[in-house]
Structure 1
Amino acid sequence: MAPIAAHTITAWNKRISEGRAGKSPKGLIAVAFDQRNHGSRQVDKLANEAWRQGNERHAIDMYSVYQGTAMDTSLLINHLESYTFPTHTHRITTHLVLGISLGAHAAWHCLLQDPRISAAAIIVGCPDYTALMSQRAMKSKRKTWTSSKPAGSHFVGSADFPPALVEAVKASDPAGLLMRYNLAAQRAIAGAEGGLDAAEHVRLRPLFEKHLRGKKILAMSGGADKLVPYECGQPFYSFLKKAVGPGGWFTGQGVVFEDLVYEGVGHAVDPRMADRSMAWVGEVLTGELEGGVNEAKI
Structure 2
Amino acid sequence: MRNHGDREVSSSCPSSCAADTRKTSPDANRTWKNGNEAHGIDLMSLIDGSALDFKLVMTYLPAYLPQFHTFHNIMGGVSLGGHVAWRMPALIADKVEAAIMVVGCPNLTALMLNRLRIDPTILKTTAEDLYKIPYETLAGTMTVEQKTRWPQVLSRLVSEQDAAIDEKFPNIPLLLMGGKQDPLVPVRFTEPWVKKHIERNVEFFVQDNTGHSCTKEMVARMAAWLGDLYSK
TM-score (norm 1): 0.60
The residue aligned with 2:106 is 127
Match of 1:59 in 2: 40
Checking the alignment, whether the CA contact within 8 Å between 1:37 and 1:44 is kept in structure 2 is: no
Matched, 1:70 2:51: yes
**Distance in 2 between residues matched to 1:128 and 1:167, nearest whole Å:** 13
State yes or no: 1:161 paired with 2:161: no
Q: CA deviation at 1:93?
A: 2.0
* Distance of 1:92 and 1:268 partners within structure 2: 33
CA distance in 2, matches of 1:150, 1:113: 32
Counterparts in 2 of 1:1-298, with a 5 A limit?
35-39=1-5, 43-83=24-64, 85=65, 88-115=66-93, 116-138=95-117, 145=118, 150=122, 154-155=141-142, 158-173=147-162, 176-177=163-164, 179=166, 204=167, 207=168, 211-213=169-171, 215-241=172-198, 245=199, 255-286=200-231, 288=232
Provide the secondary structure at the position in 1 that maps to 2:61.
helix
Q: What one-letter code is carried by the residue in structure 1 that aligns with 2:183?
A: K
Question: Matched residues, percent identical?
Answer: 30
Question: Aligned partner of 1:177: which letter?
Answer: A
Structure 1 residue 150: deviation in Å? 4.4
C-alpha contact 2:180 2:187 (8 A) present in aligned 1 = yes
Q: Distance in 1 between matches of 2:6 and 2:71?
A: 29
Checking the alignment, whether the CA contact within 8 Å between 2:5 and 2:29 is kept in structure 1 is: no
Q: Secondary structure at the match of 1:269?
A: coil
Listed as ranges, the gaps of 5+ residues in structure 1 are 1-34, 139-144, 180-203, 246-254, 289-298
Segments of 4+ in structure 1 off by > 3 A? 39-45, 149-153
Cα deviation code 1:159-183 (max 9, x no counterpart): 221111122123223xx3355xxxx
Q: Matched residues in 2 for 1:49 and 1:169: separation? A: 20
Q: Point out the more displaced range, 224-233 or 73-82.
A: 73-82
Distance 1:277 1:41, change over 3 A: farther
Structure 2 Cα separation of the partners of residues 237 and 49 of structure 1: 30
Give 2:164's aligned amino acid: L
Do the aligned residues in 1 keep the contact of 2:103 with 2:179 (CA within 8 Å)?
yes
Structure 2 letter corresponding to 1:234: E
Unaligned runs of 5+ in 2: 9-23, 124-137
Q: Number of aligned residue pairs: give it.
A: 199
- 1:41, 1:97 → 2: CA distance? 25
Letter in 2 for 1:226: P
Deviation at 1:59?
Answer: 1.2
Cα distance in 1 between the residues matched to 2:192 and 2:149:
23
Task: Name the CA distance, whole Å, in 2 between partners of 1:277 and 1:270.
Answer: 11
Normalised to the residue count of structure 2, the TM-score between the two structures is 0.76
Report if the CA contact (8 A) 1:37-1:48 is conserved: no
1:257 deviation in Å? Answer: 0.8
